[in-house]
Amino acid sequence: MASTNKPIGANAHSPFAGCAILIAALAVMVFLLVFSTWGLFRQAREIEKFTAVAAQPVAVAAIEGEDVEINRLAEKLEKFRAELAGDDASKLALTPAELNLAIAVYEPFADLRGTLRVVAVDGPALRLAICFKLNGKPRWARPGEHGWIHSDPRFLNATLLARPELLGKEVVLKLETIEVTDAKVPVEFKEHMSPYRITERYLGDALLGPAMGKLTAVAVEDGCVVLRRQPGQVPGDRITAGQVDFASSRLFTVLGVVACGFLLFVGFLILVRARARSSTPPP
């Protein structure tokens, strides 16, 4: 009697039969892990070239003996706040000295003290002295530190040339240049940092958040930072979401290329396996 069992291909006896796709997936996962780790350390090495181990805090405006200027600034800010509560057009112009004084006097800006100072107005932009804390190269945690991975801080002691603009309901800084003494800052780092959302922390503030939401224009004019509210005007100087996502889009491009390569590789394995099965004669 003839056997009714279906012939079994030779490939079925291989211990790796049916595992090619799984092996390929694991290989791609390992590649992505290694690539991400390498990229993280490479980024840290590049950042070390224009950052420092020690901070160089910027000067904070003196408030001793400045009672007249402080009162004048308070009156100007209160007048603008009252105008924003109404329906008429409103405008607030602040000089670099007034901006620095506001940082030194008002508690909501306390975290900017020693880290940011308006040096001067340069055309339509501001020249800012900064001392920003960044994450350094990853390392294993030392005794007494929580977790597995830590990093020692690095400090960006630099001068920014930036234009204030609107992003949604907040004021941001569109960076034109980042200047560091005896070092060159890569364009990619500047693009990743710009726009710098300096006022994002104030969106939840009961006073500053609603006030920023009413602005229709921000610009540098006649040596001052000018904030405007024009009823019925749609803000025209707000940067687009595409500009905000420009730097991050490159990461998705790389991941997309890797994913396409993985799919092509899997398709190639499936095709090879199908041809091998079709060419294997039954026993």
Which of 153, 150, 154, 155 minimizes the C-alpha distance to 138?
Answer: 150
Confidence of residue 226 (pLDDT cuts 50, 70, 90): very high
pLDDT confidence of residue 27: 76
- Please state the rounded mean pLDDT for residues 212-219: 94
Is this model's pTM higher than 0.85 or not?
no
Q: Comparing 12-21, 62-71, 110-119, which segment has the lowest mean pLDDT? A: 12-21
Residues 6 or more apart whose CB falls under 8 angstroms from that of 120 comprise 96, 126, 127
pLDDT top residue among 135 and 17: 135
CB atoms within 10 A of CB 125: 19
pLDDT at 6 over 70: no
Average pLDDT of the chain is 83
Cα 135 to chain center, whole Å? 13
Residue 112 DSSP code: G
Asked if 119 and 128 count as a contact pair (C-beta separation under 8 A), the reply is yes
pLDDT of the residue at 137: 83
Of the chain, the percentage scoring pLDDT greater than 90 comes to: 57
The predicted structure's pLDDT at residue 145: 82
Q: Which residues pair with 116 in a beta bridge?
A: 130
Integer CA distances (angstroms), 252 to 27, 190, 264, in order: 20, 19, 18
96-105 helix and 67-85 helix, angle to the nearest 10 degrees: 90
Of 254 and 148, the one with more pLDDT: 148
Q: What is the model's pLDDT at position 11?
A: 47
Nearest of 212, 121, 204, 207 to residue 166 by alpha carbon: 212
